[in-house]
């Protein structure tokens, strides 16, 4: 018998996925985005919303659902685009059947994000129409065209990113300073585009520096500012110790600026990292008005270095903390309160290790006695102030001369480079030519040992240079403080104490040995 073939006509439109005989309207939404939040883009943003609202409503076969929007958001990735993510959720939940958008570059400039989203919507029966390219994603050629167009859009983003980066580095090279004013305490953008001081915020910054130099730790300062209800640079009510530390170590507060501290690693993810020498940095002196006197800022950095060296032994409760040393056992003195609840209350200082193990013979010190003996020691030291200042300058010059140390540092770095290259060649040679692996491993380990030795030497030399620089700055601060004093000291001065004293040794016989930062020692 002859074959009988019956044609069953299509009932679903391959483009719309709607029944051919259906009279229901297709549910349509739109997505609009502008990539900056500037006033110039606001009109474009509003115009897109209005355009797509009318565009959808004019089509008698479409039912308007919503226009999803993102304002001031980059298209490079979809993670932080709230409007885009809401649109995807609604599409998956079946709220609409067709999404209309201006172009692939408005949808996403990241090829992967673009294709993943389109395929995700396609699986749920939701089509995307790119108006500029006239591409329907249900079309047989749609995905190929999307891939090509998305790649072009991504390369456009790369080009824009490179141009922006070049522009920023050119500004850095020209010494033009910019700040994140919204989260930077103490400065705002002035009429000329340069940083200008905000007086009320500058007072908070000065207070932070003062509290730190009076002995408080960044954590204690943060706790105090939080308790007083002072708002953080980011507008939060709770301060963190790390925030205080950044303020205390930021060179911009002394009127200078180190530019390009961080850089963007990947233009797609916008991931940044600390600049550890991968790209150039630029240091601009006197780039803007200073909130903190440069000498005070340098003194703060010296104090930071000293506290870091002490580590967990440092206590920020008082200006005498970690500065009075027991002459018997070498431990630090700590404050104790006697008669804390009556009229005889007084603060005394005693060796923290006095009753640990074998009792040491260190004396107990009254705080007022320490102050009085410090005044006497300073007055003894400045009997011939001119000669003292000259000696300090000579000492500072000798300590700050790091020319021999720089030669050693250069040699150590060259040694590292040589060992690195020898190791690379050794590994490469082993991959190309068959060798005795025991001999290979032995030589490799020798090179590793040589590298570690060179690295340790480099770190030791760098540490020595850092310490010498800090010492030089401390002597400089001491000289400046001495120059302000034209008469014998009468009252205890915290600033003078902090700038002049390295440590005080409390001897068992009750005498105090004052070690000054210029190297002088006075016994009282």
d(CA 250, CA 304): 12
Multiple choice CATH, 26-160, 3.40.50.1390, 3.40.50.300, 1.10.3720.10, 1.10.760.10: 3.40.50.1390
What is the average per-residue pLDDT within 189-214? Answer: 85
pLDDT of residue 96: 92
User: What distance, in Å, lies between the first and last C-alpha atoms of the chain?
Assistant: 128
Q: From 36, 267, 279, 266, select the one nearest 169 (Cα to Cα).
A: 279
pLDDT of residue 453: 87
Q: Residue 488 pLDDT > 80, yes or no?
A: no
Q: From 72, 71, 59, 141, select the one nearest 100 (Cα to Cα).
A: 59
Same topology, domains 26-160 and 181-313? Answer is no
Q: Which of 158-167, 174-183, 348-357 has the lowest average pLDDT?
A: 158-167
Q: From 329, 326, 350, 323, select the one nearest 338 (Cα to Cα).
A: 350
Q: Could you tell me if 137 and 128 are in contact, meaning their C-beta atoms sit under 8 angstroms apart?
A: yes
pLDDT of residue 440: 83
Q: Residue 403 pLDDT > 70, yes or no?
A: yes
pLDDT of residue 301: 79
- Residue that wins the pLDDT comparison between 473 and 370: 370
- Residue that wins the pLDDT comparison between 2 and 124: 124
Distances (CA, A) of 400 to 309, 396, 425, 475, 513: 20, 6, 40, 10, 26
Axis crossing angle, helix 241-249 with helix 199-213, rounded to the nearest 10: 100
pLDDT of residue 266: 53
Q: What is the pLDDT of residues 411-462, one digit of tens each?
A: 888 888 888 888 888 888 877 777 788 888 888 888 888 888 888 888 888 7
Q: Could you tell me if 105 and 153 are in contact, meaning their C-beta atoms sit under 8 angstroms apart?
A: yes
CA of residue 183 relative to chain centroid, distance: 12
User: In this prediction, what percent of the chain has a pLDDT beyond 90?
Assistant: 5
pTM over cut 0.75: no
pLDDT of residue 170: 58
Q: Hey, where are the domains in the chain?
A: 26-160, 181-313
Number of Cβ within a 10 Å radius of residue 293: 15
Q: Residue 29 pLDDT > 90, yes or no?
A: yes
Q: What would the DSSP string read from start to end of 141-187?
A: THHHHHHHHHHHHHHHHHHHHHHHHHHHHHHHHTT-----GGG-TTE
Q: Residue 28 pLDDT > 90, yes or no?
A: yes
pLDDT of residue 42: 45
* Mean pLDDT for all residues in the chain: 77
Q: What is the pLDDT of residues 281-318, one digit of tens each?
A: 667 777 788 888 887 787 787 777 777 766 655 555 56
pLDDT of residue 262: 60
- Residue that wins the pLDDT comparison between 245 and 175: 245
d(CA 192, CA 288): 12
pLDDT of residue 90: 92
Q: Which of 2-16, 97-111, 435-449, 483-497 has the lowest average pLDDT?
A: 2-16
Multiple choice CATH, 181-313, 3.20.20.150, 3.20.20.140, 3.90.1750.20, 3.90.226.10: 3.90.1750.20
pLDDT of residue 100: 92
What is the average per-residue pLDDT within 73-102? Answer: 79
Q: Which of 80-89, 183-192, 444-453, 485-494 has the lowest average pLDDT?
A: 485-494
pLDDT of residue 158: 64
Residue 270 gets the label, from left (phi > 0), alpha (psi -120 to 50) or beta, of: left
pLDDT of residue 489: 76
Q: Is 18 helix (H, G, I), strand (E, B) or coil?
A: coil
Q: Residue 39 pLDDT > 50, yes or no?
A: no
């Amino acid at each position: 018998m002859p074959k009988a073939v019956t044609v069953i006509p299509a009932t679903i439109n391959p483009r719309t996925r709607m029944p051919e005989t259906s009279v229901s309207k297709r549910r349509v939404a739109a997505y609009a985005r502008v990539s900056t939040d500037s006033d110039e883009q606001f009109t474009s943003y509003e115009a897109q919303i209005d355009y797509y609202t009318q565009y959808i409503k004019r089509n008698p076969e479409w039912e308007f659902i919503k226009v999803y929007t993102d304002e001031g958001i980059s298209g490079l990735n979809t993670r932080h685009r709230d409007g885009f993510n809401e649109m995807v959720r609604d599409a998956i939940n079946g709220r609409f059947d067709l999404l209309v958008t201006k172009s692939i570059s408005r949808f996403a400039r990241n090829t992967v994000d673009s294709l993943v989203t389109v395929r995700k919507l396609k699986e749920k029966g939701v089509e995307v129409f790119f108006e500029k390219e006239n591409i329907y994603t249900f079309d047989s050629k749609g995905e190929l065209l999307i891939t090509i167009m998305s790649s072009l859009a991504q390369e456009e983003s790369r080009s824009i990113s490179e141009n922006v980066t070049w522009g920023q580095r050119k500004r850095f090279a020209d010494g033009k300073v910019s700040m994140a004013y919204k989260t930077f305490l103490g400065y705002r953008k002035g009429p000329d585009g340069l940083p200008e001081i905000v007086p009320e915020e500058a007072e908070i910054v000065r207070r932070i520096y003062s509290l730190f130099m009076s002995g408080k730790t960044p954590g204690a300062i943060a706790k105090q500012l939080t308790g007083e209800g002072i708002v953080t640079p980011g507008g939060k009510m709770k301060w963190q110790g790390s925030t205080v530390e950044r303020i205390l170590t930021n060179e911009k507060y002394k009127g200078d600026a180190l530019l390009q501290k961080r850089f963007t690693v990947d233009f797609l993810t916008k991931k940044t990292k600390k600049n550890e020498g991968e790209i150039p940095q630029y240091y601009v002196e006197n780039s803007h008005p200073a909130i903190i006197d440069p000498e005070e800022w340098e003194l703060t950095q010296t104090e930071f270095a000293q506290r870091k060296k002490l580590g967990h032994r440092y206590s920020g409760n008082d200006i005498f903390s970690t500065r009075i040393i027991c002459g018997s056992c070498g431990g630090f003195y700590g404050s104790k309160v006697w008669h804390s609840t009556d009229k005889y209350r007084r603060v005394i200082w005693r060796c923290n290790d006095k009753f640990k193990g074998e009792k040491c013979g260190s004396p107990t010190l009254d705080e007022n006695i320490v102050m009085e003996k410090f005044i006497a020691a300073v007055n003894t030291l400045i009997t011939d102030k001119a000669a003292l200042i000259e000696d300090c300058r000579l000492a500072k010059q000798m300590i700050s001369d790091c020319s021999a140390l720089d030669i050693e540092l250069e040699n150590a770095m060259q040694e590292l480079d040589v060992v690195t290259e020898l190791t690379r060649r050794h590994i490469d040679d082993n991959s190309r030519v068959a060798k005795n692996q025991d001999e290979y491993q032995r030589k490799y380990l020798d090179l590793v040992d040589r590298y570690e030795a060179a690295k340790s030497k480099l770190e030791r030399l760098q540490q020595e240079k850092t310490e010498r620089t800090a010492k030089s700055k401390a002597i400089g601060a001491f000289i400046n403080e001495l120059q302000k004093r034209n008469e014998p000291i009468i009252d205890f001065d915290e600033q003078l104490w902090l700038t002049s004293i390295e440590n005080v040794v409390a001897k068992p016989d009750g005498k105090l040995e004052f070690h000054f930062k210029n190297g002088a020692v006075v016994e009282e």
